[in-house]
């Protein structure tokens, strides 16, 4: 009985290692130089959607000044936009009339004084003048027909506009009455009418009539 058990144990001790070597052969140990050689097999590259990329943590501390400089370099500065330029108002006299046919009379306030606001407006209306385009006043031979322009009245100071919206604070040192002799049927009669209107305005506003000597 003891002999049989011994034989069985010997058999097991011999057979089992043999079976292990047959089923699980040992791999040869590579030398150090073999580990450094690149593999001839194609590398397997993981697709982006197979794995989650976890950023590597760092213990480096970023100083506030360094962060500010980095943000300043990455910032996109907006382009400067030039401010819109307001168009300058053209001279009413130069824009409307031909110089060779221009006849002008001035009504000037006393030196250092101005024709002021509502007093000026009332005097212009009393002379039969009507406010119109280009912010100046007009005189018509037929008040119902704007195609019958006789002469115009503007401020004597460039650009010549009389702003009714700010008439309460408006003032001018003088008025300019002008006509285009080439656009009226009877230039001498219209000119005489303009002279009389200038004198009426001067009397009412306390000004002085001056004729253009050009």
Taking residues 7-11, report their average pLDDT. 77
The answer to whether residue 203 scores a pLDDT higher than 80 is: yes
Highest mean pLDDT among 19-28, 94-103, 125-134: 125-134
More confident residue, 104 or 10: 104
Could you read off the pLDDT of 35-50 as tens digits, one per residue?
444 444 444 444 444 4
Class of the CATH-defined domain 92-211: alpha beta
Q: Could you report the per-residue pLDDT of 126-176, keeping only the tens digit for each? A: 999 999 999 999 999 998 888 899 999 999 999 899 999 999 999 999 999
pTM: 0.54
Q: What is the pLDDT of residue 48?
A: 47
Averaged pLDDT for residues 48-66: 48
- Which tens digit of pLDDT belongs to each residue from 73-87? 544 444 544 555 554
Percent of the chain at pLDDT > 90 equals: 43
Residue 108 has a pLDDT of: 97
Q: What is the mean pLDDT of residues 103-132?
A: 95
Of residues 107 and 71, more confidently modeled = 107
3-state SS, one letter per residue, for the chain:
CHHHHHHHHHHHHHHHHHHHHHHCCCCCCCCHHHHHCCCCCCCCCCCCCCCCCCCCCCCCCCCHHHHHHHHHHHCCCCCCCCCCCCCCCCCHHHHHCCHHHEEEEEEECCCCCCEEHHHHHHHHHHCCCEEEHHHEEEEECCCCCCCCEEEEEEECCCCCCCCHHHHHHCEECEEEEEEEHHHCCCHHHHHHHHHHHHHHHHHHHCCEEEECCC
Residue 5 has pLDDT above 80, yes or no: no
Please, what is the average pLDDT of the chain?
A: 75
């Amino acid at each position: 009985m003891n002999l049989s058990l011994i034989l069985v144990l010997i058999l097991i001790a011999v057979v089992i290692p043999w079976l292990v070597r047959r089923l699980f052969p040992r791999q040869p140990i590579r030398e150090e130089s073999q580990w450094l050689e690149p593999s001839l097999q194609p590398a397997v590259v993981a697709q982006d959607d197979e794995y989650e990329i976890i950023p590597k943590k760092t213990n480096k501390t970023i100083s506030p000044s360094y962060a500010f400089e980095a943000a300043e370099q990455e910032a996109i500065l907006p382009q400067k936009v030039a401010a819109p330029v307001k168009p300058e108002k053209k001279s009413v006299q130069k824009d409307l009339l031909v110089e060779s046919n221009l006849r002008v009379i001035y009504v000037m306030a006393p030196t250092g004084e101005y024709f002021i606001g509502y007093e000026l407006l009332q005097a212009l209306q009393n002379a039969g003048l009507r406010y119109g385009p280009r912010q100046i006043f007009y005189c018509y031979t037929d008040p119902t027909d704007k195609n019958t322009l006789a002469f115009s009245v503007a401020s004597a100071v460039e650009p010549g506009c009389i702003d009714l919206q700010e008439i309460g604070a408006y003032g001018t040192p003088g008025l300019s009455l002008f006509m285009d002799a080439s656009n009226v049927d009877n230039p001498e009669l219209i000119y005489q009418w303009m002279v009389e209107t200038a004198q009426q305005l001067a009397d009412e506003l306390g000004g002085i009539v001056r004729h253009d000597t050009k």
